[in-house]
């Protein structure tokens, strides 16, 4: 049985999630300040709690994103996800109907993307892949490799 090399998702994925959480935290802090100035103390208190939660999540993001890994073994792709409860998905190449490579403007700037495999059982997503790794997996597992 052939062994594969275990690969992690890009570290830039954590940066992307921090940017998104930072934007949400900034909006909630601004709304809390506006509500505090207008005298709605309860709403300001709730939004400050949301701000604190988003800041805490921005610290915890690397824990989650660092736990996504994948291994290519022959005609199968083994994906491991989860921070506390590890989940292992095994996707056989013959089960993949097609794959899709997507990235938005911020993701393009950071050089990361999301690879989605469409199988008979549903979608399997790999978030935070480096662009070269994603293109290689897209080609090998659903994009254009000859049967």
Predicted confidence (pLDDT) per residue in 60-104, tens digit: 766 666 677 888 887 888 888 777 777 888 888 888 888 899 988
Using the 8-state DSSP alphabet, how is residue 39 labeled? T
Return the H-helix or E-strand segment holding 48.
helix 41-65
What are the residue ranges spanned by the domains of the chain?
12-64, 67-143
Residue 4's pLDDT band (cuts 50, 70, 90) = low
With bands split at pLDDT 50, 70 and 90, how would you rate the model's confidence at 2?
very low
């Amino acid at each position: 049985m052939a062994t594969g090399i275990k690969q992690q998702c890009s570290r830039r994925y954590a940066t992307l999630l921090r940017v998104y959480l930072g934007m949400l935290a900034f909006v909630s802090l601004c709304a809390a300040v506006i509500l505090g100035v207008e005298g709605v103390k309860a709403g300001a208190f709730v939004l400050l709690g949301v701000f604190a939660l988003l800041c805490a999540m921005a610290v915890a993001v690397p824990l989650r994103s660092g736990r996504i890994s994948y291994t290519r073994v022959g005609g199968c792709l083994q994906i491991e996800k989860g921070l506390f409860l590890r989940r292992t998905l095994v996707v056989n190449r013959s089960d993949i109907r097609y794959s899709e490579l997507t990235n938005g403007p911020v993701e393009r700037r950071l050089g990361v993307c999301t690879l989605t495999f469409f199988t008979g059982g549903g979608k399997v997503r790999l978030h935070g892949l480096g662009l070269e790794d994603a293109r290689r997996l897209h080609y090998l597992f659903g994009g254009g490799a000859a049967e």
